[in-house]
Chain A
Amino acid sequence: MTQAALPAAKRWSSARAWAAGLPLSGKIGLALVLFWLLVALVGPVLAPYSTGAFVTYDVFEGSSPQHWLGSDYLGRDVLSRLLAGARYTVGLALVASLLAVVTGTGLALFATVSGRWIDESLSRFMDTLISIPSRIFALVLIAAFGSSLGLLLLILALTYVAGNYRIARSLAVNLDKMDYVQVARARGEGRAYVAVTEILPNMIHPLLADFGLRFMFIVLLLSGLSFLGLGVQPPDADLGSLVLENLSGLPEGALAILMPAVAIATLTVGVNLLIDALPARTRRMGGEG
């Protein structure tokens, strides 16, 4: 075994041990999350047809060997569109929630180790941001600038920065009072060291849970925006816009509308289950320590 492979193998086995320690609901959640991540990663490659291709003259067709999930309101292959759409939803939500959490936590740490005035002004600014209803905010921005992927990403991230900032700041402020942080201060350490090395590692667990929550909120917000026609624009589609465009198939109970809805549901429920399992896990690890 090479030297690089050794820690990788070790990490893999510890990850497996971690997954094995999750309760059943957590394992189901983890499986769902991994499944959707995989779909987002390789889905478009596996898609049997091109996203925009009209493949049949029957609209809202049922399941058939050619079209596993039937066809949509224009006679396009639902499976192919779902595989492509999952990438938008998962990808956009992942990048947006990462952006929100990194920015929010970064600002929170900065506010904690900086003086009172920076902390105050940043916190009040975040309070202002959090008081704007997220959907209205998104609608206004899209109305002003038109819908594009970049703008969507920005809106989604911006909407959830404030919430994450609040949580991260309250965690960091508590940790900042811990003796080991005081010791580091009395040692003469700089602010950046205190924030990144002393405080951050001890708030990573609750932050992970928060990240999962934000991810889920963003999936729902994005789906909502797309449902209103303000999200990802045709011919591309994310899960939310798939539901919108096939709305007329609802009375027939068409797979074309059911499957995207099921996809959104399983993704959010999966993330939710995984998050719910996380705090218990952290607590047990704390108890052992």
Chain B
Amino acid sequence: MADQVQVNGLRIRAVGPQGCEIEIVRDVSFSIPKGTVLALIGESGSGKTTIALSLMGYARPGVRIAGGKIRVGDLDIRALDADSLAAIRGNRIAYIAQSAAAAFNPSLTIMRQVIEPALIHGTATKADAEAKAVQLFRDLALPNPESIGSRYPHQVSGGQLQRLMAAMALIADPDLVILDEPTTALDVTTQIEVLRAFKEVVRERLATALYVSHDLAVVAQIADEVVVLQHGEMKEKGAISQILAAPGNDYTKTLLAAARPAERPGASAAVSEAVPLLEIRGLAAGYGPIRTDGLPRTTILKDIDLTIERGSALGVIGESGSGKSTLARAIAGLLEPTRGQLLLDGAPLPSRLTERNRDQFRRIQIVFQNADTALNPSHSVARILGRPLEFYHGLSGPQKQARIFQLLDLIRLPRSVAQRTPGELSGGQKQRVNLARALAAEPDLILCDEVTSALDTVVGAAILELMAGLRKELGLSIMFISHDISTVRAICDEIAVLYSGRRVERSPRAAFRTPPFHPYTDLLVASVPELRPGWLEETAAAPGASAEGSSPDPAGDLCVFRARCPVCIGGICDRLPPPLHRLINGKDVLCHHTEEGLGRLQRHPTTGAAA
């Protein structure tokens, strides 16, 4: 079969900070046969998006395509002028961006935006395009394909929006579809739906696609061939099964290793003191005025009970909107809980910031997800690290300086970094400084809110490694909040699963891999892509969230998962609050099903392979 896309010796240059040009893509060649999917994989800065954009003849400001040949279909992209490029973009070549929410215009209906490419390029009449769009909506497994087009972007979910964007890209039957990290911003349970829809539609329409991603497991599901990139250079090229089974390049091996986090033995986890370091009892928190029953109007968290032992790591997982970050904020005192109690070393911890004393502040430190916003851009690293030192420990002058250097050594950054501002550091370096600021306080407990989510797999793995080492060295307790099950499983001694603000399961690490689970945990575990092709086909389709299916819950104490639960018991789950029961392997599960019942329902062919 003829190659639909051919790229030969592509070189792309960018203007550097001193005005001199640097080559950011060096001699990249690949071809995509018609009807297949090629994946570009690499970390941020590897040039994968730059290459993807160059296939449309586009280079970002300050960047130019310096050499090489790009052929898509029968078009020589580099020979085209601006007008001819405009004529093929969205028509012959379509682009699906990472954030669909940012790519849709919030004030136009979805249908109008989806059929826009066809109308602009005059490939179809309005009626034809709309009929085709509805067909695409159906193929992409979107709910209510006939009517979803008349909604506005904010009225559909993130996963649906991503699929609608695929419909927009496919409306003009392009020769090539470029997907730029289309599922990175989604929860695992949503990601699996979107991936399945993409795969289906690509196969049915024989579309040729370029899939840009940093996630090998996702790529394994959708791509036929893979190009591994690092610093703008091709490291390896081959069929996906070959890359996964027998990587020929060291960098590919590193990527593979980072995608499968190794389990770290818990620190001295056996020290089970009588009094836990932090105990959370019946915590409720939210926003808005407080109602008569003591709950705020918008309740984010309800009835949360958790304990963190000294020196142990507690993992908190859940999808976006489950209240993970709110929990961290409530413990840090940034959000006042409306009910419940916090006990630090057995002594009550005031919920208001103003009532806590400096020592209580020092003992609990919070590390935010996004180091870009967590570090003050106008302060130098030395100032950022120095402040907690003088604030909590009264250090100044040479003593403070020495401690700052010590901290930089601890997080393995060169001392020269001290005089720089966060803007001059890379993402991984910033996250290290973010962590070091918390360490500077010499805390007992660090609340880590998705600290590795914004980082590349390799960099994230390095940060996790660092944290595990520090934990052992300093005897820290960590509350590790994440949506990524594999990381939590790798580093935490105990795992709590949050769904919609309720703790639906608590499990010791040893028991977390094996069923029975809470039905939601089961869905989460089953949704994490595995590093092998064919996993997507084997995994049963999970039922999507259906708001219509949920029954009214005036008291707010029914099972929060019942609308999506595949094993919901009619007449019980929608009428009685679920009981909390302790399973034989030490798990606490909030569900009507008995241990045997759950065990019977959850015999997955894949779970055994994962363990």
Contacts and interface: CB of A to CB of B under 8 A. Distances in A.
A206 to B, nearest CB: 13
Interface string A182-222: 11011111000000001001100000000000000000000
Contacts of A198: 376
B361 interface: yes
Contact of B333 (A179, A186, A288, A289): A186
Interface stretch (B39-47, B100-108, B255-263, B366-374): B366-374
Nearest to B369: A179
B358 A179 contact: no
Interface in B325-362: 329, 332-334, 353, 356, 358, 361-362
Interface in A136-181: 178-180
B142 interface: no
B366 A289 contact: no
Contact of A289 (B356, B373, B377): B377
Nearest to B358: A188
Given A179-B368, A180-B374, A202-B376, A186 B353 contact: yes
A187 B391 contact: yes
Nearest to A180: B376
Which of under 10, 10 to 19, 20 to 34, or 35 or more describes the interface residues of A?
A: 10 to 19
Nearest to A201: B378
Given A182-B368, A289-B423, A187 B334 contact: no
Nearest to A200: B378
B334 A202 contact: no
Contact of B377 (A187, A188, A189, A202): A202
Contacts of A187: 361, 365, 387-388, 391, 441
B437 interface: yes
Contacts of A180: 373-376
Interface in B259-310: none
B376 A288 contact: no
Which of under 10, 10 to 19, 20 to 34, or 35 or more describes the interface residues of B?
A: 20 to 34
B552 interface: no
Given A183-B366, A289-B421, A289-B423, A188 B374 contact: no
Given A178-B373, A180-B373, A289-B424, A186 B378 contact: no
A274 to B, nearest CB: 22
Nearest to B17: A288
B147 to A, nearest CB: 37
Contacts of A186: 332-334, 353, 361, 364-366
A188 B356 contact: yes
A219 B545 CA distance: 62
Contacts of B364: 186
Contacts of A185: 334, 353
Contacts of B370: 179
A182 B374 CA distance: 8
B467 to A, nearest CB: 18
Query: Closest 7 CB pairs between A and B?
Result: A289-B423, A188-B361, A201-B378, A179-B374, A179-B368, A180-B376, A179-B373
15 contacts: A180-B375, A182-B329, A185-B353, A186-B353, A186-B361, A186-B364, A186-B365, A187-B361, A187-B387, A187-B441, A188-B356, A188-B361, A189-B391, A198-B376, A202-B376
